[in-house]
Structure 1
Amino acid sequence: MDIELVGRALTTLPEDDDHPYRSGPWRPQVEEFRADDLEVIGDLPTDLDGVYLRNTENPVHPAIQRYHPFDGDGMVHMVGFRDGTAFYRNRFVRTAGFEAEQDAGRSLWAGIAEDPRVAEREGWGARGRMKDASSTDIVVHAGQALTSFYQCGDLYRLDPLTLQTMGRATWDGRFPAEGVSAHPKVDDRTGEMLFFNYGKEAPYMHYGVVDADNRLVHYTDIPLPGPRLPHDMAITENYAILNDLPLHWDEDLLKKGVHAARMHDAPTRFAVIPRRGTSTDIRWFEADPTYVLHWTNAYEDGEEIVLEGFYQDNPVPDPPKEDRMRMFRYLALDVMQTRLHRWRFDLRTGRTREEHLREEHTEFGMINEGHLGRDYRYVYAATAKPGWFLFDGLVKHDVKTGHDERFALEEGVFCSETVMAPRVGATAEDDGYLVTLTIDTNRDCSEALVLDAANPADGPIARVRLPQRISSGTHATWASGEEIPGWFDVERAADAVT
């Protein structure tokens, strides 16, 4: 393994930190590495060609008041696979907030669990007075990796091969003042990226489309009755699906500057809008009240639209007995009781049908992105350690037959969101590989696991040792080599880290 230290962030976190989400598997990194010719246990397939990119919150300073695991700075980890070999990079996303706090040597903005008034500077986001950490999600569009923030903000552009931050997306000066939420959707067939944002001012939501040439070609209001807290969206071949969920800020408290999420006595509502439609084209559908963090996919089935995602049976859980864990009760899958669920919207009658697809608690489902917005069969979802925001394995859900396959990690080992990487030349939906990163607290190390997507229960076919034990994390994406500018330039691939 050829390892080079390429950067180090200033940190003021205590060496004996015992915060439950800044220690153990959540212990953050401050060093940035470049590593080539990684040690491989097993045989890496030569038809696995591309990069696994994972974004996550990685704190470097104590919070002003109370730290929440969604408050850390964006750090992207990349494992590249080429010709049966692997290489690794990790870099902080150089956001304006990260750079300002590095200069100041302390936190300057309020976190999600803090009073916004403690912020020392004006901030970003739907909540306001927050740092846009660009730490939630990552996608690849028009040859660039784009990181995003769940409370809306800028999209930061990264070179997907070197992870060098290349500045904010501008879309030729048309980037919306309201920002962009995490979880934009990139349609590989059209090259378009569809996105939404939300905030505390009417109309409370917008929806837009960026074309394959990275131009904002559509942007429209999605009027809502008040401020909401959506987290994700879905698309089909002809539609976008946005949501108005009954778990959102208490508007009476919001007038007093208090951001407290409450479950309201209202149905779940879905906005079905043509991909280039306006507010007058929206069809609204109602369903049972719940909250959904992540949708898996949606598609058109005759005169119906099918939407699938993770329904929460308990979106407002009771606080745990241990006071220190109270604010984290919304993080554990078993506490929120997240289950794979299906909604059907009848475009002729306006009616909704829905059903649980599974009773098991899973979330953070990934699919073969070549089937995004189209009929599909497989979801690769995470299982979690009870009571914690830690993934301890994965399940391959067959949404057509009801059959599941499971892969469980050993006690004390946790993984990230698992991407599906189609094999070069693949034809079947599950003809490819699953890739995830692990955090092994038993051996104090991290690996990239590669599994056969058709048979994940068989376990890894290859394990790739990383140069450092990384922090636990969530959202990831896969980009094939042909999507990455300069991928076939061997000299660039070896030497382009700055």
Structure 2
Amino acid sequence: MNGPTASRPLWMDGHMAPVPDEIDAVDLPVTGALPAELAGRYFRNGPNPRPGEETRHWFSGHGMVHGIRLRGGRAEWYRNRWVRTRQFTHGAQLVGAGFEVDRAAVTANTHVIPFNEKIYALIEVGFPYELTPELDTVGPCDFGGRLTSAMTAHPKEDPRTGELLFFGYGFVPPYLTYHRLSADGELVESREIDVPGGTMMHDFAITENHVVWLDLPLVFDLELVERGLMPYRWDDGYGARLGVMPRDPERAGEVRWFDIDPCYVFHVGNAHEDEAGRVVLDAARYTPGDFDKVWATTGGLPAHETVTVASVQGVARLHRWTLDPSGGKVAEEALDDRGVEFPRHDDARTGLEHRYLYTVTGDSIVKYDLRSGSSAEHAPGPGLIPGEAAFVPAEGARGEDEGWLMSIVTDTSGDGSELLVLDASDLSRVASVRLPRRVPAGFHGSWIPDAR
């Protein structure tokens, strides 16, 4: 694979390059046997500029969702659609000349999730966009006018209550706002959280009784906006800390902050409370040096010809923080030294103790057993790059890893893509669906089961 150049950045080349159009295909070829109980859709979101458009950062392209429909052991269709946001259809800008903010003028390119019988394409700087099960765009959603901040691309659905917890961050006050949707989709709580300034807070975590904030030193810089760059930079002076906030609405503004070693986290694995009442957080952690490397490579800044896909995806390491709200102490522990990203778990364990995490490296899917300390890998094959692996539980599953992993795998040679289905218990290959086109490397996806 060729490295990025000044005229062809990494995300516009090879298996990361955008596709030029939207297509439909039916009766997709299947190798192996798709489990008959897999009835639903796998949707995966990612940035995809239109032909002729230039972007200065991998994160900046218009959102495109790729979808595969499975039912009865068959792959019925594939289709891909741009999310028709106001930025896509009208060229509207998030921030106007007078610094007014249009939260519907976004790219909606980061995640796609189901909630309360609706489907949302998400990006962290504005409103979510509702999609149909056929990937048509319904429009922006502000939950009846109650949402006045942005919405993170990584909300957390509480498996016990059915609530959706999320937040929005901003470059002007309020810098951080906490939100809670009821199980029936009503925005029932919004609350400002006091932080020193505007930072890129990409993810957060929840436990049964707490919210965990990541206040880390990637700060907003107006000068970078004026230079046409992604408006965030590393600031050693800001510091790095984690915050533990009670979910009790009567105490939702109370946060116990813990200073930690300098780092950045794009993606949390999960969090839970242990028997001693401590909060345990697992995440993919970048050291300052690792972050500089990935930010330069994906941000339109000068990069070396030797940069590879593995170095982009493989600079975060699985890490654990144990936070003691009563004693005020924090412990840090590296769980592995290999480079991984996009940690996922069984969503039924969100906020609860979890045994397994599923991540990806440059060329493999990795399963961590956090109880035994062991791990296993599945490499799809030479030149094949797996995307995020989403866990799909089996019907009536008794074991936490009883189910399947779904990942879109792309060939660096340009020879197309497939939807890979693995047995989550042992990472054995169950089936693959040959897709009618190459799917560019992207971000996050969800399995959306048919209603039962």
Coarse TM-score class (shorter-chain normalised): 0.7 to 0.9
CA distance in 1, matches of 2:317, 2:334: 7
User: Are 1:376 and 2:365 matched, yes or no?
Assistant: no
The worse-fitting range, judged by mean Cα deviation, of 263-272 and 299-308 is 263-272
Write the letter of the residue equivalent to 2:143.
W
The one-character-per-residue Cα deviations of 1:349-406 (angstroms, maximum 9, x if unpaired) are: 111111001111111111111111111111110102xxxxxxx221001111111110
User: Are 1:461 and 2:430 matched, yes or no?
Assistant: yes
**Unaligned runs of at least 5 residues, structure 1:** 1-16, 102-107, 111-115, 385-391, 483-487, 489-498
Partner of 2:233 in structure 1?
261
Q: Structure 1 residues 20 and 317, CA, compared in 2 at 3 Å: closer, same or farther?
A: closer
CA distance in 1, matches of 2:135, 2:223: 43
CA distance in 1, matches of 2:253, 2:419: 47
CA distance in 1, matches of 2:228, 2:81: 35
CA distance in 2, matches of 1:163, 1:191: 24
How far off is 1:266 after superposition?
A: 4.9
Q: 1:83 aligns with which of 72, 76, 86?
A: 72
Q: Is the 8 A contact 1:71 1:133 kept in 2?
A: yes
Give me the TM-score of the superposition, normalised by structure 1.
Answer: 0.80
Q: Structure 1 residues 221 and 339, CA, compared in 2 at 3 Å: closer, same or farther?
A: same
Write the letter of the residue equivalent to 1:453.
A
* Alignment of structure 1 residues 34-183 onto 2, 5 Å: 34-63=24-53, 67-87=56-76, 88-101=78-91, 124=102, 132-150=106-124, 152-159=125-132, 161-176=133-148, 178-183=149-154
Q: Structure 1 residues 241 and 323, CA, compared in 2 at 3 Å: closer, same or farther?
A: closer
Give me the TM-score of the superposition, normalised by structure 2.
Answer: 0.88
CA distance in 2, matches of 1:442, 1:336: 20
How far off is 1:292 after superposition?
A: 0.7
Higher relative contact order (CA 8 A, sep 6+): 2
Write the letter of the residue equivalent to 1:240.
V
User: Are 1:476 and 2:450 matched, yes or no?
Assistant: no
Partner of 1:237 in structure 2?
208
Partner of 1:317 in structure 2?
292
Q: Structure 1 residues 382 and 253, CA, compared in 2 at 3 Å: closer, same or farther?
A: closer
User: Are 1:353 and 2:331 matched, yes or no?
Assistant: yes
**Percent identity between the aligned chains?**
35
What's the secondary structure of 2:303's corresponding residue?
A: helix
Q: Is the 8 A contact 1:157 1:167 kept in 2?
A: yes
The one-character-per-residue Cα deviations of 1:323-365 (angstroms, maximum 9, x if unpaired) are: 7536998996568731101111112211111100111111111
Q: 1:271 aligns with which of 243, 256, 260?
A: 243
CA distance in 2, matches of 1:217, 1:42: 46
Partner of 2:379 in structure 1?
408
The count of residues paired between Structure 1 and Structure 2 equals: 437
The worse-fitting range, judged by mean Cα deviation, of 84-93 and 354-363 is 84-93
The worse-fitting range, judged by mean Cα deviation, of 44-53 and 141-150 is 44-53
Q: Structure 1 residues 180 and 280, CA, compared in 2 at 3 Å: closer, same or farther?
A: closer
Q: Is the 8 A contact 2:129 2:139 kept in 1?
A: yes
What's the secondary structure of 2:364's corresponding residue?
A: strand
Q: 2:256 aligns with which of 251, 263, 283?
A: 283
Q: 2:406 aligns with which of 427, 430, 435?
A: 435
- CA-based RMSD: 3.1
Partner of 1:7 in structure 2?
none
Q: Is the 8 A contact 2:386 2:410 kept in 1?
A: yes
